[in-house]
Amino acid sequence: MWSLQDLKEGKVLLVDKPLEWTSFDVVNKIRATIRHTFAIKKIKVGHAGTLDPLATGLLIVCVGKATKQIVDFQGLDKRYEGVLKLGATTPTYDAEAEEDAQYALAHINNDMIVEASKSFIGETDQVPPIYSAIKKNGVRLYKLARKNQDIAIEPRRVQIHALAIEHIDMPHVSFSVVCSRGTYIRSLAYDLGRKLHSGAYLNALRRTHIGRFDVVDAWQVEELVQQIKQLK
């Protein structure tokens, strides 16, 4: 069992982020639980890589002195399993927003999808979604997007180590991907749609690995909360 001193000295916690929670929701829940359990005013808690609210899966949460390791964890490769929908787009590149355009699908077959996916393997320049937390002149892009400002977004060099099409049930395509830090799977889905002369957006996403860390070893949030409460 951990003690407060153990937490202050540093703990790395693997958490399975629930659907519709932000990564900061998870951090805040853990921080608040520790503060309340031990009646302390503050303790350092942070995460090592954001997951969108509609994504689930592995989140590395660092407590106490372990927060110094966050930068190292952020640089690790990630593995995701996802589902995209072909034939439409949304402003956010995922299902958080309503579809804003529809595109033809009749010309697309399974072989075309597999071949198109292969073109993304390796180093590539990727344009992040406008609805993202990246800063432009000190302001988060999503805040500028909500003001309908015309924004030029610079592409970023990312690396796709592996991209496999797992199952096709048109218009839905299931896939797995292993990629470098900074890769937006929403942009990958959008770009695959364009490659197929159609549209696409991310319909579901789950992060299964960060480096050697596996989501099968992760806590459910409520289980972790109960574990912390038992430390008092």
Assess whether 123 and 203 both reside in one domain. yes
Single out the catalytic residue among 6, 16, 25, 52: 52
Give the CA distances from residue 9 to residues 63, 108, 138, in Å, rounded to whole numbers and listed in that order: 8, 55, 33
Assess whether 58 and 117 both reside in one domain. no
| CATH number, domain containing residue 162 | 3.30.2350.10
Assess whether 96 and 61 both reside in one domain. no
Task: Give the pLDDT mean for 74-103.
Answer: 96
Structural domain total, the chain: 2
Identify the burial level of 148 via C-beta atoms within 10 angstroms of its C-beta, where 0-12 means exposed, 13-18 middle and 19 or more buried. Answer: exposed
pLDDT digits (tens, 9 = 90+) for 190-231: 999 999 999 999 999 999 999 999 999 999 999 999 999 988
Chain centroid offset of residue 24 CA: 13
Q: Is residue 52 among the annotated active site residues?
A: yes
User: For residue 122, what are the domain limits?
Assistant: 78-210
Prediction pTM value:
0.92
Give the per-residue pLDDT at 133.
65
Reported as a pLDDT band with limits 50, 70 and 90, residue 178 is very high
